[in-house]
Amino acid sequence: MFINLEQLPADPILGLIKQFGEDPREHKIDLGVGVYKDNQGLTPVMQAVQHAEQKLFADQTTKSYIGPLGVPQFNEAMKLLVLGQRHSVLNEQRIALVQTPGGCGALRVAAELIKRSHGAPTIWVSEPTWGNHTPLLGDSGLNIRSYPYYDFGKHRIQFDAMLSCLNQVPAGDFVLFHGSCHNPSGADLTREQWQQLVQLVQRRGFTPFIDLAYQGFGEGTEQDAYGFRLMAEQLPECVLAVSCSKNFGLYRERVGALAVTTETVASAQAVTTHIARVVRGIYSMPPSHGALIVAQILADPNLYKVWQEELSQMRQRLLHTRANLVEQLRQRGLGDRFDFLAREKGMFSFLGLKPEQVVALAEQFAIHMLGNSRISVCGLNGANIDYFAEALAAVSAR
């Protein structure tokens, strides 16, 4: 039967890892997948993670099962990280939070949970959104529709168009928002815009679903949770998928969580049992190693401080690289065309190039990015930013 299956093309984002690996040129630049790199182009294990991992190895006594909900200490610590210390939802225990294999696991489990409780509603995603949102949510049977978000010409959020589209969304549907560091555009909602969205959700009655994959990469761990905290405070129910891949650098360990804020304590408890049932039916239980590391860091004030400092350095490096790139491009006669790069946040931005310009950068200059000209900014560093600016100026002139 499998003889009928034809070979599929590589995933557009993950395929770039291979494309980059196969490029023999020494001066090649990887602006593809969203993995943080330091100024040497490396993705080292974070110090806080190393310390926590050593302690974990020294202290562990068993590898026995933990269960579908994951590591309890991780789940409690993550509630504090995403909600802050004094959130009403926390005080009233109106939250179900379950460890998942990465943010992707959270998105998929959420989709299955939504199907159990709502049938197959529509989930609205931003245009554009992260390429893997559609398979993660749509393959479980949810209908996917999109709302206008990023104006590719003006490099801004088209907030009026977004509002007027969301004003048509019926109660019972879900709307996916990026908590911070919008992937792929880097254009984030302001606090005022989040407040307006809350009012709109109150009028319409749909359920917000927030994907928080980059907490700490925009303005800080507290600031980046603003949208979720506000929605959880003001609205009866809210879904959150959170990832520890980027902010703890735990990519391959697959650590994340799904949270649902509910109207009552009983509802939170019921939701937890349904999530456990979904998990049992897909992967039975998540791995514990990465979650134990995160739990350790969040529980230990010294490790927490080390982690926050490292995260702050990563954030500062992204901001600095963005500002530096704008400056480099201005010096090469490109005026204010790329100034938006310094306004945007997190790992990604669109350069706004034509497909043939992206191809030219890969073929002639060994610079690799997504076909839609999304770049992962941290692929740039002191050693390659001049070369990149020169190449971008050259293809932009064509």
For binding to ligand LMR (CB under 6 A), which residues are involved?
13, 33-34, 130, 132, 183
Quote the least distance from Cβ 33 to ligand LMR, whole Å. Answer: 4
Alpha carbons 369 and 362: distance in angstroms, whole number:
8
Complete edge-to-edge strand list for the sheet that includes strand 122-127? 95-100, 256-261, 238-243, 207-212, 174-178, 122-127, 143-148
Burial (CB count within 10 angstroms: exposed 0-12, middle 13-18, buried 19+), residue 225: buried
Quote the least distance from Cβ 135 to ligand LMR, whole Å. Answer: 11
Quote the least distance from Cβ 103 to ligand LMR, whole Å. Answer: 8
Q: Choose between 121 and 186: whose C-beta lies nearer to ligand LMR.
A: 186
Q: Choose between 100 and 183: whose C-beta lies nearer to ligand LMR.
A: 183
Residue 115 appears among annotated catalytic residues:
no
156 phi and psi, to 5 degrees? -145, 165
Alpha carbons 161 and 147: distance in angstroms, whole number:
8
Instruction: Let me know: does 341 contact 325? Beta carbons within 8 Å.
Output: yes
Three-state SS string over 328-393 comes to HHHHHHHCCCCCHHHHCCCCEEECCCCHHHHHHHHHHHCEECCCCCEEEHHHCCCCCHHHHHHHHH
> Which residues are bridge partners to 239 per DSSP?
209, 260
Quote the least distance from Cβ 28 to ligand LMR, whole Å. Answer: 18
- Other beta carbons within 10 Å of 228: 27
Residue nearest to ligand LMR (CB): 34
Residue 173 appears among annotated catalytic residues:
no
Quote the least distance from Cβ 21 to ligand LMR, whole Å. Answer: 15
Instruction: Let me know: does 31 contact 375? Beta carbons within 8 Å.
Output: yes
Residue 207: its H or E element: strand 207-212
Which residue is catalytic, options 173, 188, 211, 224? 211
Q: CA dihedral in degrees (128, 131, 132, 138; nearest 10)? A: 60
307 phi and psi, to 5 degrees? -60, -45
Instruction: Let me know: does 231 contact 178? Beta carbons within 8 Å.
Output: no
Alpha carbons 350 and 371: distance in angstroms, whole number:
10
Quote the least distance from Cβ 258 to ligand LMR, whole Å. Answer: 17
Residue 339 appears among annotated catalytic residues:
no
Quote the least distance from Cβ 338 to ligand LMR, whole Å. Answer: 21
Which residue is catalytic, options 130, 173, 194, 224? 130
Give 3-state DSSP helix, strand, coil % of the chain, rounded to 5. 50, 15, 35
- Other beta carbons within 10 Å of 76: 13
**The two three-digit tokens of residue 203, written as one number:** 């009028």
- Residues with catalytic function: 130, 211, 246
